[in-house]
């Protein structure tokens, strides 16, 4: 398929708190929380989960659990599994045997808040390095300005989210003639500088260092894989799902938690 080159504007926001209705109205929004919420959501749906319900608080998670008692509770607070939940926020926990056909209620420190804050957009997609190419193909089917919403870390800039935004800009620029904001140009330059060894560079980020301290190097390696999943999750009316025919999971290496 060949897409025509049309001009779109690409903007970036660096925290969940920076997302406002005015910024995202009539735009296509891509939520990015690379370490680890959007990587986990994409993995869970690629592995057959029926739907993901993002929530911004533990109280909301348990309220939904009362409505959907068969659902799995997943999520983290300050990178640790929430007490009483079935799963944490490591994408490597969301294996087909556990999640296939299941609803998942997910609560995280940053990512699910960014998703819930984006409800005023035209379309809302869940992005990651893992599904970048598939996501770009979906974006190219629409003629909308794009807002790359980095979740950030507790209302501050996040290196890994911005780097993934830069990768998406690189892929989109192969097909579009985008008008890039200064922030978008900076994200593209960041990705180009880090592209040859993403795990090494992004492990130095604040979240990367936290994951290493908790023995989660495998999460860093996995979340930095490019174009391994064909699922493109979309958020509508409080639910994240994959529309259309489910695409296969591409070949993934085996990961173990080890030091770099």
Q: What is the pLDDT along the chain (260 residues), one digit of tens a residue?
A: 444 556 799 999 999 999 999 999 999 999 999 999 999 999 999 999 999 999 999 999 999 999 999 999 999 988 899 999 999 999 999 999 999 999 999 999 899 999 999 989 999 999 999 999 999 999 999 889 999 999 999 899 999 999 999 999 999 999 988 899 999 999 999 999 999 999 999 999 999 999 999 999 999 999 999 999 999 999 999 999 996 544 445 445 555 455 44
- pLDDT score for 78: 85
The residues that bridge with 25 in the sheet, in sequence order, are: 121
Q: At what angle do helices 206-213 and 159-173 cross, to 10 degrees?
A: 120
Cross-sheet strand order for the sheet of 179-180? 80-81, 72-77, 103-107, 51-55, 239-241, 234-236, 123-127, 28-32, 146-150, 9-13, 179-180
Q: At what angle do helices 132-140 and 159-173 cross, to 10 degrees?
A: 50
pTM: 0.92
Give the class (CATH, top level) of 9-239.
alpha beta
| Contact between 232 and 134 (Cβ < 8 Å) | yes
Which residue matches tokens 């690409």? 10
How far is residue 12's CA from residue 138's CA, in Å, rounded to a whole number?
A: 19
How far is residue 11's CA from residue 162's CA, in Å, rounded to a whole number?
A: 12
Q: Which two tokens stand for residue 209?
A: 């260092």
Name the 3-class secondary structure at 100: coil
- pLDDT score for 143: 86
Domain boundaries, the chain: 9-239
Which residue matches tokens 């005023």? 120
| Contact between 37 and 108 (Cβ < 8 Å) | yes
Pure H helices in 9-72: 21-24, 37-46, 58-67
- Alpha-carbon distance values, 140 to 14, 134, 155, 201, 208 (Å): 23, 10, 30, 29, 31
- pLDDT score for 260: 47
| Contact between 246 and 111 (Cβ < 8 Å) | no
Identify which of 192, 250, 223, 218 has the alpha carbon closest to the alpha carbon of residue 111.
223
User: β-strands 239-241, 234-236: how paired?
Assistant: antiparallel
């Amino acid at each position: 398929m060949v897409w025509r080159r049309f001009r779109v504007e690409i903007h970036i926001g660096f925290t969940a708190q920076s997302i406002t209705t005015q910024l995202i109205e009539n735009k296509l929004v891509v939520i990015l929380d690379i370490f680890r919420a959007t990587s986990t959501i994409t993995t869970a749906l690629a592995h057959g989960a029926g739907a993901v319900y993002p929530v911004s608080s533990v109280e909301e998670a348990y309220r939904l659990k009362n409505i959907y008692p068969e659902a799995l509770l997943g999520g983290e607070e300050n990178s640790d599994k929430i007490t009483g939940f079935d799963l944490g926020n490591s994408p490597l926990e969301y294996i087909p045997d556990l999640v296939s056909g299941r609803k998942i209620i997910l609560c995280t420190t940053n990512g699910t808040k960014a998703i819930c804050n984006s409800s005023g957009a035209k379309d809302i997609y869940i992005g990651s390095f893992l599904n970048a190419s598939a996501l770009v193909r979906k974006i190219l089917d629409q003629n909308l300005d794009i807002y790359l919403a980095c979740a950030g870390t507790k209302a501050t800039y996040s290196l890994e989210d911005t780097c993934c935004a830069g990768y998406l800009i690189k892929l989109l620029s192969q097909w579009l003639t985008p008008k890039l904001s200064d922030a978008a140009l900076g994200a593209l330059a960041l990705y180009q500088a880090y592209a040859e060894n993403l795990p090494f560079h992004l492990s130095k980020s604040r979240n990367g260092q936290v994951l290493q301290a908790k023995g989660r190097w495998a999460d860093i390696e996995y979340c930095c894989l490019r174009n391994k999943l064909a699922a493109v999750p979309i958020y509508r009316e409080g639910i994240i799902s994959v529309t259309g025919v489910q695409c296969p999971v591409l070949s993934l290496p085996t990961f173990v938690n080890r030091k770099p």
